[in-house]
């Protein structure tokens, strides 16, 4: 069985690492990877392949930047050519990026069945490019691997045939379990290198277009995090897009006085920072969940989240960046808070279930 995986963004490298390693254990499965190039900096791409033990992709399209239509269109052209050549039995895609959408559309038009990992997530905000990508991708996919019960419910409401939906758990939980001890056991991890004290600092990440591309929201975030940073060390690994915008609008210097701005971190350093932080403020989907994996309270700098179970369970608070005062309050209130005892993300065997299913062994029950 020949399977082509299409990926291109940091969270996809992380998710694919565990699924690819499970697929490699399945007899008769041959996986070929296409990297679209959506994320291309060494510390957003190569580092993850190295740290997570992934092989170099067979195809690298080198496509990044530009408006959504142009980027997705160029990816479609490149992926279609490769699929026509490789003729796989299945195309495997992850999450909600333009690489996900391009992989799904290129495959389905060539009548190649698509498997979507992280199916069924919804923010119900169609202004988010990710929401459009998810909905279209789910609609054209044959296998919908849902991480949570809530994701299954969303798909059911949209009329998806239950036979296509498989609740397998969250592959990010698998990865965090797999690498957690490795991250903690290093002599010179990020916490030590940065001179931080265990549970003595806050961690922040911001990269969503709804925040970076809206000057008012971005300024609220900057003001709130700068203020939090005056009372508690605050570390912010800056996504390249966020750094570029902050530089362009002249907000970087306002932050530098009280916030520790650092380069994007490798996965192990990020896990360690999350584990050691006293609170996390983020607009990242993955980081919200990882905060919970470490039982660290989280404040989500958005109007809504796809991971509502964490809000309901008391682990996460939504703080839309419309008032700096409200964001500061949300972060200060979150410190020390623990939510209820929930297990929404499976048993850490999501990748194995996906690989078994796709390789024809059948889903583990």
User: What part of residues 180-219 is at the interface with ligand UDP (CB under 6 A)?
Assistant: 205, 207
Binding residue for ligand UDP, selected from 8, 233, 264, 321, defined by CB under 6 A: 264
Binding span for ligand UDP by CB under 6 A among 59-67, 182-190, 278-286, 353-361: 278-286
CA 274 to CA 294: how far, in whole Å? 7
Can you tell me the distance from the alpha carbon of 153 to that of 120, in angstroms, rounded to the nearest whole number? 8
Q: Which is nearer to ligand UDP, 261 or 335 (CB)?
A: 261
Q: Please tell me the distance from the alpha carbon of residue 68 to that of residue 141, in angstroms, as a whole number.
A: 21
Which range touches ligand UDP (CB under 6 A), out of 8-16, 119-127, 299-307, 316-324?
A: 8-16
Question: Cα separation of 66 and 64, whole Å?
Answer: 7
User: Is position 154 annotated as part of the catalytic site?
Assistant: no
Q: Is 237 in the site for ligand UDP (CB under 6 A)?
A: yes
According to CB under 6 A, which one of 151, 287, 298, 301 is a site residue for ligand UDP?
A: 287
- One of 207, 239, 275, 356 is an active-site residue; which one? 207
Stretch that binds ligand UDP, among 16-24, 162-170, 209-217, 264-272 (CB under 6 A): 264-272
Residue 270 interacts with ligand UDP (CB under 6 A)?
A: yes
Residue 265 interacts with ligand UDP (CB under 6 A)?
yes
**HEC per residue, 183-209:** HHCCCCCHHHHCCCCCCCCEEEECCCH
Write the CA distances from 350 to 19, 22, 168, 364, integer angstroms: 8, 10, 5, 10
| Interface pick for ligand UDP out of 4, 7, 8, 10 (rule CB under 6 A) | 10
Neighbours of 94 (CB within 10 A): 27
Of 170, 290, 306, 349, the one binding ligand UDP (CB under 6 A) is 290
Residue whose CB is less far from ligand UDP, 278 or 287: 287
CB of 76 to ligand UDP, least distance (A): 21
Residue 267 binds ligand UDP (CB under 6 A): yes
Kindly state whether residue 20 participates in binding ligand UDP, applying the rule CB under 6 A.
no
The Cα–Cα gap between 351 and 194 comes to 33
Residues in CB range of 330: below 8 A, 6 or more apart: 299, 317, 319
Least separation in angstroms between CB 279 and ligand UDP: 16
Among 147, 285, 321, 344, binds ligand UDP (CB under 6 A): 285
Taking the least distance from each CB to ligand UDP, the nearer of 242 and 359 is: 242
260-262, strands of its sheet edge to edge: 260-262, 234-237, 202-205, 279-282, 298-300, 316-318
Strand 202-205, strand 279-282: pairing: parallel
DSSP 3-state of 282: strand
Instruction: Identify the residue among 284, 300, 305, 316 touching ligand UDP (CB under 6 A).
Output: 284
Q: For strands 260-262 and 234-237, give the pairing.
A: parallel
- What mask of x and - would describe binding to ligand UDP in positions 59 to 78, judged by CB under 6 A? --------------------
> Closest by alpha carbon to 171, among 340, 338, 5?
5
As annotated, the active-site residues are 207
Per CB under 6 A, residues contacting ligand UDP are 10-11, 14, 205, 207, 237, 264-265, 267, 270, 284-287, 290
């Amino acid at each position: 069985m020949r399977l082509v995986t299409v990926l291109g963004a940091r969270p996809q490298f992380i998710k694919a690492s565990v699924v690819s390693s499970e697929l490699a254990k399945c007899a008769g499965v041959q996986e070929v990877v296409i990297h679209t190039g959506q994320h291309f900096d060494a510390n957003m791409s190569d580092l993850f392949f190295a740290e997570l033990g992934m092989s170099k992709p067979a195809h690298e399209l080198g496509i990044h930047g530009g408006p959504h239509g142009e980027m997705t269109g160029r990816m479609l052209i490149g992926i279609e050519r490769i699929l026509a050549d490789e003729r796989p039995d299945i195309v495997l895609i992850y999450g909600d990026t333009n690489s996900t959408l391009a992989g799904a559309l290129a495959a389905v038009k060539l009548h190649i069945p698509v498997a979507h990992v992280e199916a069924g997530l919804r923010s119900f905000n169609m202004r988010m490019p990710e929401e459009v990508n998810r909905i279209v991708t789910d609609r054209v996919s044959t296998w919908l691997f849902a991480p949570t019960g809530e994701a299954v419910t969303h798909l059911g409401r949209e009329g998806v045939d239950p036979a296509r939906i498989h609740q397998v758990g969250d592959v990010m939980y698998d990865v965090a379990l797999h690498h957690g001890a490795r991250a903690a056991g290093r002599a010179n991890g990020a916490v030590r290198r940065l001179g931080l004290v265990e549970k003595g600092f806050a961690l922040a990440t911001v990269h969503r277009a709804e925040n970076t591309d809206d000057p008012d929201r971005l300024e609220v975030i900057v003001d709130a995090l700068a203020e939090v940073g005056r009372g508690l060390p605050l570390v912010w690994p800056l996504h390249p897009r966020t750094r570029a915008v902050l530089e362009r609008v002249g907000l970087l210097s306002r932050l530098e006085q009280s916030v520790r701005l650092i380069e994007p971190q490798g996965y192990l350093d990020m896990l360690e920072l999350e584990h050691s932080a006293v609170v996390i403020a983020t607009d990242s989907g993955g980081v919200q969940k990882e905060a919970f994996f470490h039982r660290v309270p989280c404040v989500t700098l958005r109007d809504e989240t796809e991971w509502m179970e964490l809000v309901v369970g008391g682990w996460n608070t939504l703080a839309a960046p419309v008032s700096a005062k409200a964001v500061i309050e949300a972060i200060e209130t979150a410190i020390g808070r623990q939510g209820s005892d929930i297990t929404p993300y499976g048993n850490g065997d999501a990748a194995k279930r996906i690989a078994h299913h796709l390789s024809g062994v059948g889903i583990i029950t």
